[in-house]
Amino acid sequence: MKRPRIVVGIKWVPNTQAVRFDPKTGTLIREGVPSIVNPHDLDAIELALKTREKYGGEIIVVTMAPPGAEEGLRHVIGMGVDRAILVSDRVFAGSDTLATSYTLAKTIERIGRVDLVFFGQETIDSSTAHIPAQVASWLDLPYIYYVESIEKLELKENKVVVKRKLEDRYEWYEVELPVVIGVAMHSNPPRPISLTNKLRAVTEKPIEVWTNKQLGLDPRCIGLRGSPTIVSKVTWQPEIPRKRKIYQGNPKEAVKWLIKHLEEEKVLP
Amino acid sequence: MSSRESGNQQLLKIQRIDDLLQRNLWDVDHRPHIVVDTSRCTDCEYKPCVLLCPAGCYTLVDSKLLFSYEGCLECGTCRTVCPREAITWNYPVSGRGVLYRFS
Amino acid sequence: MATKFDAIVVGAGPAGATAAYKLAEAGIKTLLVERGRGRGSKQVFGGRIYVTPVREVFPDVEKTAPIHRWVKREKISILHNSRILSLEYESPEKHSFTTYLTEFTSWIVDKAINAGAVYVDEVRVDSIVEEDGRITGIEAGGERIEASIVIDAEGVNRLLLEKLGLAERLSPEEVALGAKEVIKVGADKINERFGLEEDSGLAWLLVGEPTDYLPGGAFIYTNRDSVSIGVVVYLATAVKKAREEIYRLVEKLRLHPQLRQYWEDGDIIEYSAHLTIESGRRFMPRKLATSGLIVVGDAAGLLLNTGYTFRGVDYAVYSGYLAAEAAKKAFNLGDFSEETLRENYEKKLLGSFIAKDLRNHTGVEQIMHEVEFFEKYPVVAIDTARKLFELGYETPRIQEALRSSLKTHHINLLSFLYKMFKMVRKL
């Protein structure tokens, strides 16, 4: 029986909790800030693992990052993914979402047969949510986002039914494979790291490093040269100090109290 | 994004525990690593956890004990001082919880 | 998964990482398991490491360890009522250094990895497996890995040893709680404000006001470009006598009108807390090894707290080293029995400077529990000094100043002298 091949694209991002803003120079202080796997990508990994539990197959994680990202790849291998590809080369430095999605799409092409491509909903360091859509576009594949679960996967018929969550409703889609799927944030909380999987991440060699030697991409389409985005300015929205007013008493009075205070603060007209 | 502006004007007064904890790096698990059976706390006279938890995870709301694991510094004090053995204590899994860099 | 190891070390703190390094160096197939992410991410200590025992294990410590500053100035102060009474000591020798334990531990973990140990982070070990009266491996998340020997370096919270029945649940009498802030100030400012040279540092202990007169003390250590400030309170007394949250005590120390000048333009870069053993001798498990298991570091009760000296990291490193030596012998003999391990580890440890230290200072913690020492005596000392130094018309003799201070605080002179004598003898 045919087993699904699932690719999950993840991003190695600076832990934004630790990033500070220097108001004098108007730049982000990234010095000494450790990186983590983008938390929303872990939902995608988890959904991939659940899919594999049900239908078997193989999960391959792909990321484009400097060599330090191996730590993050070991983390997701610790969760149970089968293998990982680290796309890492100086020529990819300075990529915007266009160049990144192009590089990732070419990487996925090179992997060979792929049935499902998962991404997290967005990243915590830029929140553009460009990548899954652009990868789908490069690969000329359908793209469904806010997906919560895989309802039915029929490789023989070459189709999948997914459920996605919108603000006010659920929607079910039946699509032809392969398909790119954006997994809704917080929809699939990641499972713990397992001892034997983590051990495998260290003792076996499940992480391959691909440079542009393997991919052979046109230098005009990758890295800084392939990136038309210009960041003109970064500004900082300082946190608004909380008033920390707490009402204690019965709910009926609380409503009046709340409206009165919201009016005073000019939140309500 | 919970990043904050660098600078220390606000540091000239006593910090609230939440603000102190914000100085650290965290990767908090969605599953709590500590569970408190607060039904055992009602007749606990001292409630030493409230003053001694260095992360202020134990608070009194209307004289009822409220526990939140998110800011836990994983020191083990609550487990040690609890006179009612009301705390099922463990460390977080998967490297989650607090991530020290300068201690 | 058919991976099998000769040795498994639980916990990559200074003790565990050292044991793993020494085992791997000897060609023993070693797995080092750590619950934290990366290296050293769950590590907290006060601020300094004594170098001599560490040098015996790591001869390159001075050249390659992440040393921030060599402690060349020691200071002990009593703080009360806006007055500070201090004892200061300065030496040109390099006996101890300040660092971040997170960095120091990383340094040892890297050595272990380079020596061939398999390092697995982000995995919390749930139990040490015992079968037919001997330890056969570890279990985490329902998965088991076997080994001929397990080294338990789990730290002060001995969840694993408790499960094995080798340690009791912690009681407040056994430990103190330390909470600390690290404040980034800048190297130049530290040098200027504390009057320090480039690589020299200060270790400063304070009693009285900083702990709200609770048994314990406060500390200030200078790191490369930051200071570590913190408060340690003995839980046994704090349980009943604490009037304020411990983090507020740390904050008050930070904002203390006579101390804040050193760091007030700095930024708090971390806030941490940790339990510290009060009496290592009493905390020590009944046995430090059983069939297939050796206990090291904090878990073994290897920490000295005399009230003016805290030693733990060097003991941890040294015990890890002794454990590895004993395990090496066990592999040579093919004998992992309790007798052999206790003979080669426990006996060595009990004969070492560590056990000698712990024995020597037994009883100090009893003094530390005497509330008077922290509640009344600091006040008397400051009062006496005030009478001696803050002169108006009259100039009292020392004896007069002391007597009248004791009287003000309703302390009998004889009992005071007796207690001081007792303390000096214990110390």
Q: What is the CATH number of the domain that holds B87?
A: 3.30.70.20
Residue B72 is assigned to a structural domain of this protein: yes
**How far apart are the C-alpha atoms of A81 and A10, rounded to whole Å?**
12
Q: Looking at CA atoms only, how far is residue B31 from chain C in angstroms?
A: 14
What pLDDT band is residue C426 in, cutting at 50, 70 and 90? low
Element containing residue A160 per DSSP (H, E): strand A159-165
Partner residue opposite B80 with nearest CB, options C100, C141, C172: C172
Burial of A263 from C-beta contacts in 10 A (0-12 / 13-18 / 19+) = exposed
C413 vs C175, residue with greater confidence: C175
pLDDT, averaged across chain C: 93
**Residue-level pLDDT at B1:** 35
The parent domain of residue B37 ranges over 16-99
Residue B5 is assigned to a structural domain of this protein: no
**How far apart are the C-alpha atoms of C220 and C54, rounded to whole Å?**
23
Domain spans in chain C, listed from the N-terminal domain onward: 5-66+101-169+282-361, 173-277, 376-426
CATH of domain C173-277: 3.30.9.90
**Residue-level pLDDT at A129:** 92
For chain B, the chains sharing at least 3 beta-carbon pairs closer than 8 angstroms are A, C
Angle (CA) B71-B72-B78 rounded to 5° is: 135
pLDDT per residue as tens digits for the range C333-349:
999 999 999 999 999 99
Residue B4 in this model has a pLDDT that exceeds 70: no
Closest chain B CA to residue A17: B3
Residue B6 in this model has a pLDDT that exceeds 60: no
Say whether C226 and B46 touch across the interface (CB within 8 A). no
**Residue-level pLDDT at C302:** 94
Which structure tokens are listed for C233? 């309170």
On chain C, the residues whose CB falls within 8 A of the CB of B97 are: 42
Residue B47 is assigned to a structural domain of this protein: yes
Contact predicate A75/A150, CB 8 Å = no
Say whether C145 and A75 touch across the interface (CB within 8 A). no
Domain A5-221 maps to which CATH number in 1.10.1370.30, 3.10.580.10, 3.40.50.620, 3.30.1120.80? Answer: 3.40.50.620
Q: Count A/B contacts: CB-CB distance under 8 Å.
A: 48
| Three-state DSSP class for residue C276 | strand
Residue percentage of chain C with pLDDT more than 70: 98
Query: Could you give phi then psi for residue C173, rounded to 5 degrees?
Result: -65, -20
| Three-state DSSP class for residue C374 | helix
Strand A170-176 relative to strand A179-183: parallel, antiparallel, unpaired?
unpaired
Q: Interhelix angle for C313-333 vs C14-25, to 10°?
A: 30
Strand C96-98 relative to strand C48-50: parallel, antiparallel, unpaired?
antiparallel
Tokens 């094995």 -> residue? C164
Residue B11 is assigned to a structural domain of this protein: no
Q: Looking at CA atoms only, how far is residue A217 from chain C in angstroms?
A: 34
Say whether C171 and B95 touch across the interface (CB within 8 A). no
Residue B70 is assigned to a structural domain of this protein: yes
Task: Annotate B20-74 with DSSP letters as a single string.
Answer: HHTTSEEE--SS-S-EE-GGGTTT-SS-HHHHH-TT--EEEETTEEEE--TT---
Dihedral (CA of A186, A188, A189, A194) sign: negative
Residue B6 is assigned to a structural domain of this protein: no
**Residue-level pLDDT at C185:** 96
On chain C, the residues whose CB falls within 8 A of the CB of B82 are: none
On chain A, the residues whose CB falls within 8 A of the CB of B2 are: 16-17
Strand C289-290 relative to strand C293-295: parallel, antiparallel, unpaired?
antiparallel
Say whether C140 and A195 touch across the interface (CB within 8 A). yes
Tally of domains in chain B: 1
- CA neighbor of A135 nearest in space, from A147, A148, A118: A118
Say whether C118 and A192 touch across the interface (CB within 8 A). no
Q: State whether residue A192 sits within 8 Å of chain B by CB.
A: yes
Say whether C141 and A195 touch across the interface (CB within 8 A). yes
Say whether B77 and C275 touch across the interface (CB within 8 A). yes
pLDDT per residue as tens digits for the range C63-92:
999 999 999 999 999 999 999 999 999 999
Residue B3 is assigned to a structural domain of this protein: no
Residue C157 in this model has a pLDDT that exceeds 90: yes
Question: In tens digits, what is the pLDDT along chain A, a chain of 269 residues?
Answer: 789 999 999 999 998 877 777 767 777 777 778 899 999 999 999 999 999 999 999 999 999 999 999 999 999 999 999 999 999 999 999 999 999 999 999 999 999 999 999 999 999 988 899 999 999 999 999 999 999 999 999 999 999 999 999 999 999 999 999 999 999 999 999 999 999 999 999 999 899 999 999 999 999 999 999 999 998 888 877 777 777 788 877 888 889 999 999 999 888 88
Residue percentage of chain C with pLDDT more than 90: 82
Partner residue opposite C1 with nearest CB, options A71, A78, A196: A196
**Residue-level pLDDT at C427:** 64
Say whether A16 and B5 touch across the interface (CB within 8 A). no
**How many separate helices (H) and strands (E) can be counted in chain A?**
7, 13
Residue of B4, B77, B81, B85 to mutate when probing chain C, most C C-beta within 10 A: B77
pLDDT per residue as tens digits for the range C238-256:
999 999 999 999 999 999 9
**Residue-level pLDDT at B26:** 92
Residues 37-66 of A with CB under 8 A from B: 39
Mean predicted confidence (pLDDT) in C36-60? 97
C308 vs A204, residue with greater confidence: A204
- Asked which of C142-156, C158-172, C391-405, C409-423 is least confident by mean pLDDT, the reply is C409-423
**Residue-level pLDDT at B62:** 81
Residue B10 in this model has a pLDDT that exceeds 80: no
Q: Looking at CA atoms only, how far is residue B44 from chain A in angstroms?
A: 24
Domain C5-66+101-169+282-361 indexed as CATH 3.50.50.60: yes
Task: Annotate C213-227 with DSSP letters as a single string.
Answer: T-SEEEEEEE-SSEE
Q: State whether residue A236 sits within 8 Å of chain B by CB.
A: yes
Say whether C244 and B51 touch across the interface (CB within 8 A). yes
- Asked which of B58-72, C119-133, C154-168, C177-191 is least confident by mean pLDDT, the reply is B58-72
